[in-house]
Amino acid sequence: MEKPFQLKLIIRRVSTTSSLRWLAGAWQLFKKAPIVFMAMFLLTACLGFLLQLNQLSAIVWVFLNPFLTAGFYKAIVGIQHQQNVTVDWVFKPLAEPQCRLILLAIGALKVLLLTPLISFQQKLLLPMSAAIENQSTADISISWQLLLLVALFSLVFMLFAYAVAIAYFLKEQRILAVVQTSFIACWRNVSALLIFGLLSMALVLLTLPTFFIGLIVVLPLLNIAFFLSFNDVFALQVKLPDDGVLEV
């Protein structure tokens, strides 16, 4: 009996300066549908704010967020292929049963890992705040704990950075394979992603004179650029999920 054909993903090591190309490409895409992208961002931000006001509704947000992220990515692909994209595209993955379980699993695993880290962070802030108020030097153990916290948050970021895109566009249904692939992609391109992170912070800081109103442009732009990094890192051209085709 012949073994079923399996697609082996190619995870590239991109150049350190690739982030400049991602941002430039993101700006070109953003200019094609600025109102749609800004409306999607505002809608997602408002939903996130409202749902996180209550502990029970916050659980809904945990599971909804991966679907909205996939919807935003789907809109980017639609713009790339000159589709007539509307704001409601952000909700389209909710109606796609083939990706439902894996996106729910991503949301659940992410909150499972982040909950103890956030608790650890809150406990760590107490002695740090006390040291600042008393103008005294923080205990050396607190510094080591802070470094550990940063390392753990970085690890979680790497595990989930490309998780939604891998699950939605590459049709991977195994949660461990999804987070492992995301981690490997980030690890191989840590320098490029670090530069992208620094450029992202610089762009966010540039919105200070506008009292952060400029974030309605900057944050959608950064999300588009990050999705372009997914295309670049995985050496593929993503077609519309309806086609079920990937060019590798």
**pLDDT of 111 above 60:** yes
Tokens (6 digits) for 134 = 């008393």
Whether this model's pTM surpasses 0.85: yes
Cα-trace Rg, the chain: 19
- The pLDDT, as a whole number, for residue 121 is 84
Helical spans, DSSP H, in 52-174: 55-80, 100-133, 140-160, 163-169
Q: Which residue has the tokens 């549908």?
A: 33
Q: What is the DSSP string of 96-128?
A: -GGGHHHHHHHHHHHHHHHHHHHHHHHHHHHHH
How open is the CA angle 20-30-192, to the nearest 5 degrees?
20
The tens digit of pLDDT for each residue in 133-173 reads 665 555 677 778 888 888 999 999 999 999 999 999 999 99
Least confident of 14-23, 101-110, 121-130: 121-130
Parse the chain into domains and list their residue ranges.
18-108+164-172+188-247
- The pLDDT, as a whole number, for residue 142 is 75
- Residue 238 phi, psi dihedral angles, 5° rounding: -85, 125
**pLDDT of 67 above 90:** yes
Query: Rounded to an integer, what distance in angstroms lies between the CA atom of residue 76 and that of residue 79?
Result: 5
175 near 105, Cβ under 8 Å?
yes
**pLDDT of 244 above 60:** no
